[in-house]
Amino acid sequence: MSVSPEQVRHIAKLARIAMSDDELDRLLPELNNILGWVEQLGEVDTDGVEPLATVIDQKLRLRDDVVNDGNIRDAILANAPEAQHGFFAVPKVIE
Amino acid sequence: MSELTDKTIAELRDGIRGGEFSAREIAEAYNTAVAAARTLNAYTVETPEDALAAADAADKARGSGELGSLAGIPLGIKDLFATKGVNTTAGSKILKDFKPPYESTVSGNLRKAGAGMLGKLNMDEFAMGSSNETSAYGPVISPWRRKGSNVGLTPGGSSGGSAAAVAAGIAAGVTGTDTGGSIRQPAAFVGISGIKPTYGRCSRWGIVSFASSLDQAGPMAKTVRDCAILLEAMAGFDPKDSTSLDVPVPRWEAGLSSNLKGKRVGIPREYRIDGVPGEIDALWDQGIEWLRDAGAEPVEISLPHTKYALPTYYIIAPAEASSNLARYDGVRYGLRVEGVKTLDDMYAATRAEGFGDEVKRRIMIGTYVLSAGFYDAYFTKAQKVRALIKQDFRKAFERCDIILTPTAPSAAFGIGETTDPLAMYLNDVFAVPASLAGLPAMSVPGGLDGQGLPLGLHLIGNELDEQGVLNAGLAIEERAGFTARPEKWW
């Protein structure tokens, strides 16, 4: 299975990465190369195998539902490209 | 003062305690060495005043009996660890001016033990690379050169700045991170030791995320003992990391022993692969003899799914990366590209400008394998093969206590020599299986190849058996007698 130029364009859109036609042309064979290579996993019989998500067996812990942090608004905003009135500011979304 | 930078962390620690020299003398020697080695491009930020402050605190506390285990030891910190008020870029342009308002748990633990920071260490962008060439801040140049050549070599990656710093004597020890070999391959390339502990031993809190089910921090240093000292300070349960293991930290340094009597060393037959230089296979055979000499019994084992480890990794790691790196959107921190109309355009333009080629490639792969219609065929399939790889190791450890392999399929290569992404990925063929299985693994120097470049041996242990890994590493270190250092040209 190989990806088409349209699919690569669609993936770039999903990934929110702007790409010129030249870049897409360059990326297409690279992606197909890598995807063609990973397809060898198809040879492996995985019937009845549980997918592994947690590599070392452990239970997820719960903590008490209490505030244990906070009042650090200015520290959080300190790295924002644009902050206004104590908020992150973004380009206008709604007219 | 150059001799102070030749000493191991254990020697520096004991020397400070014994009054042989002051911590300030050590920090000054290192600060001078760091400033004189800028050609290597190992540091992205230098923080000499931080190293001096920790040294002065150590000198003041000397004699009080309150000295931390790393009091006055100057370390380099990989630029993937958030350091409070000090630029943390992850080797990426998208985090160029990012100054974290907090400290990562691991670097904080090292500070609590009294260590000072010499600076932040260059790395492949978001730890995606095996040569340090993907850094937005230029490649690190290895202090090593081939015999009779002045071609610039890579120190490996992604912890390439970390590796180069230890090898060049511009840090007493360093932090690295390892997602698929990023501590072990660079350690092998520059002739030093480095250990990736069991997944969950070191907190991931405050480490810029790449692939969260694989990322682990670990130390790199001149000797196995130094790695044990550093790891003891770095590791420990942290409630702020949901996958942190709530288990006690063993006293690895005190437990060091190179007597391997009664231990069985597994030699996986699938790791004999075509295209690996004969010198590497020969060193592997030598390693088996060294461990036999230390009292261990070699046994042949099989890890049948070995050849599927790399393709499995190159589905899982990009998938997790594409998800983790969605946070770089030009809103809360990092780069923002202005001058576009909509919010969506701002995201796309910012990410296009802020990410380098390899990061984009992996985000694209990851986005594809997680997208509707392909998720099961790629991602779920890879998770199932990962389960089989884990099972291979589980079965192998019924027959042996430790596994010995080469660390990397080649010695260090030249900057710009490997341009095909797939060829670059193959560098981690021996390192990736242990990562997928979450197991502790270490590289120790074994010898030099015909070009005069270091080669490493790789030890993989069972879950939580860092002690077994360190002990086998020590047995090799004592027998290899590896004392070669790069000749200073910088």
Q: How far is CA B148 from CA B145, B451, B453, B487, in A?
A: 8, 9, 12, 12
Phi/psi for B265 (5° steps) reads -100, 115
Contact B439, B392 (CB under 8 A): no
Question: Which residues of chain B carry a pLDDT beneath 70?
Answer: 1-2
- Give the gap in angstroms from C-alpha B116 to the nearest C-alpha of chain A: 24
The tens place of each residue's pLDDT in chain A, 95 residues long, gives 689 999 999 999 999 999 999 999 999 999 999 999 999 999 999 999 999 988 998 888 888 999 888 899 999 999 999 999 999 999 888 77
Alpha-carbon distance B242 to A60, whole Å?
7
Contacts of B238 in chain A (CB under 8 A): none
Question: In CATH, what number does A5-42 get?
Answer: 1.10.20
Residue type, A86: G
- Please state the separation of Cα B241 from the chain's center in Å: 20
For B247, nearest residue in chain A (alpha carbons): A58
Residue B243 sits in a domain of what CATH number?
3.90.1300.10
Q: H or E stretch including B442?
A: strand B441-448
Q: Do B384 and A60 touch (CB under 8 A)?
A: no
Instruction: Give pLDDT tens digits for B120-140.
Output: 999 999 999 999 999 999 999
Whether the model clears a pTM of 0.95, i.e. scores above it, the answer is yes
Q: DSSP E strands: which ranges in B294-387?
A: 297-301
Residue B348: closest CA among A14, A6, A10, A8:
A14
- Measured between CB atoms, which of B332, B382, B387 is closest to A50? B387
Q: Please, where are the H alpha helices in B294-341?
A: 309-324
pLDDT at A58: 84
Interface of B with A in 341-360 (CB under 8 A): 341-349, 351-352, 355, 360
Interface of B with A in 168-197 (CB under 8 A): none
Interface of B with A in 384-413 (CB under 8 A): 384-388, 390
Domain membership flag for residue B364:
no
Tell me, what DSSP letter sits at residue B308? Answer: G
pLDDT at A61: 87
Alpha-carbon distance B157 to B129, whole Å?
6
pLDDT at B435: 98
Report the Cα–Cα distance between both ends of chain B, in Å, rounded: 17
Tokens 């491009």 correspond to B41
Alpha-carbon distance B142 to B331, whole Å?
37
Domain membership flag for residue B189:
yes
Instruction: Give pLDDT tens digits for B42-77.
Output: 999 999 999 999 999 999 999 777 899 999 999 999
Q: How far is CA A10 from CA A23, B323, B341, B348, B351, in A?
A: 14, 17, 20, 13, 16
pLDDT at A60: 83
Alpha-carbon distance B91 to B124, whole Å?
6
The whole domain housing B126 covers 2-261
Active site residues of B: 78, 158, 182
Q: Is the dihedral of CA B142, B175, B336, B97 positive or negative?
A: negative
Residue B484: closest CA among B450, B446, B457, B458:
B446
Query: Is residue A71 packed enough to be buried (19+ CB in 10 Å), middle (13-18) or exposed (0-12)?
Result: exposed
Domain membership flag for residue B212:
yes
- Give the gap in angstroms from C-alpha A21 to the nearest C-alpha of chain B: 13
Residue B126: closest CA among B310, B437, B357:
B357
Q: H or E stretch including A74?
A: helix A73-77
Helix %, strand %, coil % for chain A, to 5?
Answer: 40, 5, 55
Q: Is B211 helix (H, G, I), strand (E, B) or coil?
A: coil
Contact B156, B163 (CB under 8 A): yes
Contact B103, B50 (CB under 8 A): no
Instruction: Give pLDDT tens digits for B223-234.
Output: 999 999 999 999
Residue B455: closest CA among B410, B400, B486:
B410
Contacts of B246 in chain A (CB under 8 A): 61
Instruction: Give pLDDT tens digits for B248-268.
Output: 999 999 999 999 999 999 999
- Please state the separation of Cα A24 from the chain's center in Å: 19
For A42, nearest residue in chain B (alpha carbons): B381
pLDDT at A94: 79
Which site among B314, B332, B364, B375 would you substitute to test the A interface, given the most A Cβ atoms closer than 10 Å to its Cβ? B364
Which site among B84, B303, B381 would you substitute to test the A interface, given the most A Cβ atoms closer than 10 Å to its Cβ? B381
Q: Is B447 helix (H, G, I), strand (E, B) or coil?
A: strand
B363: Cβ–Cβ under 8 A, 6 or more apart, which residues? A15, A17, B318, B321, B322, B325, B355
Q: Do B99 and A78 touch (CB under 8 A)?
A: yes
DSSP codes, B83-96: BTTB---TT-GGGT
Q: DSSP E strands: which ranges in B246-290?
A: 264-268
DSSP lists the bridge partners of residue B78 as B121
Reading the block at residue B403, the tokens are 């596994």
For A61, nearest residue in chain B (alpha carbons): B242
pLDDT at A1: 67
Domain membership flag for residue B30:
yes
Q: What total number of domains does chain B contain?
A: 1
- Measured between CB atoms, which of A17, A34, A63 is closest to B365? A34
